[in-house]
Every structure is written in C-alpha cells, then in structure tokens.
Amino acid sequence: MDNKQLLELAEKARENAYVPYSKFHVGAALVTKSGKVYTGCNIECASYGGTNCAERTAIFKAVSEGHKDIEKIAIASDNSEKNEITAPCGICRQVIGEFGLDIKVILGYSKGDIKEFTIKDLLPHSFTGSDLK
Ligand SMILES: O=c1ccn([C@H]2C[C@H](O)[C@@H](CO)O2)c(=O)[nH]1
Ligand SMILES: [Zn+2]
C-alpha cells in the first residue's frame, strides 16, 4: 500500500463523514504492519464534545479488532481538492502516538502533493506511557 493509495482510501472514507454541524468532511485510512487496512470518518454529535475525528475512528476500529501494529495513517478533508493538507488535531496526535512514535502520517491529496511525517515530528517531546512507569 503506497501513500497515494492510502490517501485515495481516506478520500473515499470522507464521503461517510457525519457532519451536520461543521459540514467539514474528514476521512482517514491506516494500514498495519501486517497489511490490514482500516478507514474512518469524523462523526459529530449535537453535544459537540461527543464528536470523534476520522483518525480516531480508524484507529479505534483497528485496535478493537486486535490490530494495533499501525504502520501509517493518511488523512483527507474537504480541503484536499484545494491541494491543502489537513493535519491531525492534538487529541488525535496523542492517540496516534500511543501506538508508536514512528507511525507515519500521510497528508495531502492523491492527485496533488503528498507529504509524509512521523507522528514524532508532529508531536515532539510527547507524554507517553513510559512516563507512568
Ligand atoms: O484532523 C482532523 C481535524 C478535524 N476533524 C473533524 C472534527 C470535526 O468533526 C470537524 C471540525 O473540527 O473536523 C477531524 O476529523 N480530523
Ligand atoms: Zn482529531
């Protein structure tokens, strides 16, 4: 699974976004080290704090099926067609980092520019489980 293919899956997942409040559609797609693919969209709630981002939807689907060996995650939004990146929010950065600081984060547009970061790049000096030991 290359970065362009993973972004295409994120762009497709975005179509399922449930966004009556923000109207901002986001999709995410991840692949595990063993090649399993999970997608997610953002799901909003009238009690706004109940909203779940696309990235966390995909991660929670993967982990809840026993696949936490995430290799990379791609993110697409309504801004993708404008060739603009949508970077994960702080909560999602922390959740991505929970499963490995070397996880790659793929941002951009499948028909445009594609950028690759590690979650360590996006969340430097992070608080981790080892701080609790
Ligand atoms: O990386 C992001 C940024 C925002 N959102 C969602 C949350 C909310 O539904 C909407 C506006 O913030 O976009 C995501 O899903 N992922
Ligand atoms: Zn988020």
CA proximity to 112, closest of 70, 83, 90, 84: 83
Q: Which atom of ligand 1 is nearest to the CA of 43?
A: 9
Note the CATH architecture for domain 3-132.
3-Layer(aba) Sandwich (3.40)
Complex ipTM, two decimals?
0.99
CA 34–ligand 1 middle distance (angstroms): 28
pLDDT for 55: 98
Task: Please write the tens of the pLDDT for every residue from 88-132.
Answer: 999 999 999 999 999 999 999 999 999 999 999 999 999 999 999
- Give the mean pLDDT of the chain: 97
Task: Map out the domains of the chain as residue ranges.
Answer: 3-132
Ligand 1 lined by 54 (C-beta under 6 Å): yes
List the Cα angle 92/122/100 in 5-degree steps: 65
Ligand 1 pocket test target in 7, 16, 21, 22 with most atoms within 8 Å of CB: 22
